[in-house]
């Protein structure tokens, strides 16, 4: 898209530049490739654009971009990001299902262990009771 703004007549723009810091960066600009912040300005016709706050006369194109272009790119980035989040949510849902199965298995195992412990405790108590009875019988026989 050609960039032409009457309020910036001292500089000739042949088009929008997306020379941000970071390769492949699109969407709403925060920094120019030169490291400086960008400014959001308004043309005489009310159209808004981002521009580098730095020196634009160093021979390299600095950032110049229409606001609506930046917003469209930002929305595209967000849409792509949401698609990734959606996929992650699906993975999490599957993982949660697996975890619920594991928790259910653990509960079953806990029930089995409790029954075994209860039975072992009962058998231990019975062994102690028989031991006491045997001792009483032996003492009774000894004193008779
Ligand atoms: Zn710059």
Give domain status of residue 52, yes or no: yes
Give domain status of residue 22, yes or no: yes
Give domain status of residue 144, yes or no: no
Domain that holds residue 30: 6-80
pLDDT tens-place string over residues 40-49? 999 999 999 9
Q: pTM for the complete prediction? A: 0.54
Give domain status of residue 93, yes or no: no
Give the Å distance between the CA of 79 and the centre of ligand 1: 28
64-66 and 38-42 strand pairing: unpaired
Give domain status of residue 85, yes or no: no
Give domain status of residue 94, yes or no: no
Q: Quick check: 33 and 62 in contact, CB under 8 A?
A: yes
Structural domains counted in the chain? 1
**Segment 103-111 mean pLDDT:** 96
Strands ordered across the beta sheet of 38-42 = 38-42, 48-52, 64-66
Give the Å distance between the CA of 55 and the centre of ligand 1: 7
Give the Å distance between the CA of 18 and the centre of ligand 1: 10
Going by pLDDT thresholds of 50, 70 and 90, the confidence category of residue 58 is confident
Give domain status of residue 105, yes or no: no
φ/ψ (deg, to 5) at 120: -65, -40
């Amino acid at each position: 898209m050609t960039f032409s703004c009457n309020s910036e007549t001292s500089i000739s723009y042949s088009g929008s530049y997306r020379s941000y810091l970071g390769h492949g960066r699109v969407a709403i600009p925060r920094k120019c490739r030169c490291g400086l912040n960008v400014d959001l300005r308004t043309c005489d016709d009310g159209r808004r654009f981002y521009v580098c706050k730095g020196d634009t006369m160093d021979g390299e194109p600095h950032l110049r971009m229409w606001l609506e272009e930046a917003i469209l790119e930002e929305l595209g980035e967000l849409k792509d990001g949401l698609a990734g989040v959606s996929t992650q949510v699906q993975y999490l849902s599957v993982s949660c299902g697996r975890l619920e199965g594991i928790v259910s298995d653990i509960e079953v195992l806990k029930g089995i262990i409790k029954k075994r412990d209860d039975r072992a405790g009962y058998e231990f108590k019975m062994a102690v009771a028989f031991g006491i009875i045997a001792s009483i019988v032996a003492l009774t026989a000894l004193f008779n």
